């Protein structure tokens, strides 16, 4: 039996045609996406994660569709796979901040209870920054190299500021499916449909800080404050957590990422390097605006409590 026929039989579809072979199929129940899992443990973690988040009744999410036998995953000749809905319409966050805030707070709440993972908090040191620059090819465009070196000084300073903030104990950090961006929010029948990434689970708030940075870039300071107030209203995150988010936002992850990409692009591709630097500057600026707005918001919260 071919892959498609096996899928149709297992999920009880009467009609099914590949849109993208092995990845996406059109059925009488809508378009479905196949996700293959090389790591069964990771798949099981994501099944548990999505079921736990869904249990909070926050919004629709890309859960695993059950087979006709009621299983959440299917084993075929190529290994384990899960089936999901394809939702392409992007969620509009404006004036519906509460829906997305519920998801963010809910994910954090679930993350604080998730067990059975050996995920570690991603750590950045000054040595990591220096090594990233050292790894660049010696014949890298001199202008690119000069920009990188100047930015390195700033990156080290940012890391220094991050390290002055109190860090939460490793065991108190949530373990979550990493946030990958605003585009995770989709919309179906006017409802938020959240597409979890399925990546390796992450400990801590690194990706959440990145998500908030992107939110800040898209919605501006005012929009960010509305969103943060909504998240805060669910009373899942405390000041400790917010300072941890601030710490992660200060860590210059974008510097390391860019240096790695320039290294991979090679010295013979300076145009690509300039594009990457452009992107990094944009992200750098986004981080700066976010950190300012966010720390102001955290201070404001503190004042409210004090008064």
Partner 1 sequence: MTTKTYDHLGSVLFHYDLYPERVESFGKVSKIHTSRGTFALKKTQLSREEGDWFIHVMRRLDRIGFHYVVPVIQTKYGDFLVRRGNDTYYLMPWYEAHERFQHPVSKEDVILEETAKLHGLTEKNQDYSEETIQASFDSLKRRWDHRKLEMERFADQAESRMYMSPFELTFLTHFHRMTQMAEAAEEHLESWVEMCKEKKAFRSVLCHGRLNKSHVLFDQYGSGYFLNFERAVLDTPARELAILFRHYFQSQPWDTAEGIHWLGTYERHFSLFDEERHLLMSYLAFPESVFHSVDLYRNEQREKTQLQLVTHLERRILSLNRTNRLMNTLFQEPHE
Q: Which of 182, 188, 219, 265 binds partner 1 (CB under 8 A)?
A: 188
Nearest approach, Cβ of residue 184 and partner 1 (Å)? 18
Residue (65 or 128) nearer to partner 1, CB? 65
Residue (40 or 191) nearer to partner 1, CB? 191
Nearest approach, Cβ of residue 11 and partner 1 (Å)? 9
Residue (64 or 155) nearer to partner 1, CB? 64
Residue (72 or 104) nearer to partner 1, CB? 72
Q: Which of 30, 122, 160, 300 binds partner 1 (CB under 8 A)?
A: 30
The 3-class SS string of the chain reads CCHHHHHHHHHCCCCEEEEECCCEEEECCEEEEEEEECCHHHHHHHHHHHHHHHCCCCCEECCCCCCCCCCCCEEECCEEEEEEECCCCECCCCCCHHHHHHHHHHHHHHHHHCCCCCCCCCCCCHHHHHHHHHCCCCCCCHHHHHHHHHHHHHHHHHHHHHHHCCCCCHHHCCEECCCCCHHHEEEECCEEEECCCCCCCEECCHHHHHHHHHHHHHHHHHHHHHHHHHHHHCCCCCHHHHHHHHHHHHCCHHHHHHHHHHHHHCCCCHHHHHHHHHHHHHHHHHHHHHHHHHHHHHHHHHHHHHC
Residue (64 or 133) nearer to partner 1, CB? 64
Is residue 35 at the binding interface for partner 1, with CB under 8 A as the rule?
no
In the range 131-160, which residues lie near partner 1 by CB under 8 A? none
* Residue window 47-86: x/- pattern of binding to partner 1, with contact defined by CB under 8 A: -------x--x--x--xxxx---x-x------------x-
Q: Which of 2, 17, 20, 28 binds partner 1 (CB under 8 A)?
A: 28
Q: Which of 77, 95, 127, 189 binds partner 1 (CB under 8 A)?
A: 189
Residue (24 or 135) nearer to partner 1, CB? 24
Nearest approach, Cβ of residue 274 and partner 1 (Å)? 45
**Under 8 Å between Cβ of 101 and 59:** no
Rounded-to-integer distance, Cα 44 and Cα 23, Å: 20
Total residues at interface with partner 1 (CB under 8 A): 17
Cα separation values, 256 from 47, 89, 188, 245, Å: 32, 33, 37, 19
Binding part of the chain for partner 1, among 174-182, 186-194, 221-229, 294-302 by CB under 8 A, reads 186-194
Nearest approach, Cβ of residue 91 and partner 1 (Å)? 13
Nearest approach, Cβ of residue 28 and partner 1 (Å)? 8
Applying CB under 8 A, the residues found at the interface with partner 1 are 28-30, 54, 57, 60, 63-66, 70, 72, 85, 188-191
């Amino acid at each position: 039996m071919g892959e498609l026929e096996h899928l149709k039989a297992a999920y009880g579809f009467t009609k099914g045609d590949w849109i993208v072979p092995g990845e996406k199929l059109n059925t009488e129940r809508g378009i479905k996406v196949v996700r293959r899992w090389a790591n069964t443990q990771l798949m099981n973690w994501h099944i548990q994660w999505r079921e736990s988040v869904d249990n909070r009744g926050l919004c629709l999410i890309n859960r695993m569709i059950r087979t006709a036998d009621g299983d959440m995953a299917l084993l075929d000749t190529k290994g384990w796979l899960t089936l999901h809905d394809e939702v392409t319409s992007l969620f509009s966050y404006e004036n519906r901040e509460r829906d997305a805030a519920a998801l963010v707070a809910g994910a954090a709440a679930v993350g604080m209870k998730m067990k059975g993972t050996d995920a570690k908090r991603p750590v950045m040191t000054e040595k990591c920054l220096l090594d990233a620059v050292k790894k660049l090819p010696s014949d890298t465009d001199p202008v690119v190299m000069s920009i990188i070196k100047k930015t390195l000084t700033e990156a080290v300073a940012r890391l220094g500021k991050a390290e002055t903030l109190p860090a939460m104990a490793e065991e108190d950090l949530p373990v979550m499916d990493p946030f990958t961006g605003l585009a995770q929010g989709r919309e179906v029948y006017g409802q938020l449909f959240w597409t979890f990434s399925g990546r390796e689970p992450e400990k801590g708030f690194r990706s959440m800080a990145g998500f908030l940075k992107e939110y800040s870039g898209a919605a501006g300071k005012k929009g960010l404050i509305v969103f943060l107030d909504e998240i805060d209203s669910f009373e899942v995150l405390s000041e400790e957590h917010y300072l941890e988010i601030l710490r992660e936002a200060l860590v210059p992850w974008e510097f390391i990422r860019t240096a790695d990409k320039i290294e991979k692009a090679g010295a013979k591709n300076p145009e690509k390097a300039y594009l990457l630097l452009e992107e990094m500057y944009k992200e750098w600026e986004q981080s700066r605006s976010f950190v300012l707005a966010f720390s102001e918001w955290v201070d404001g919260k503190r004042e409210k409590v004090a008064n």
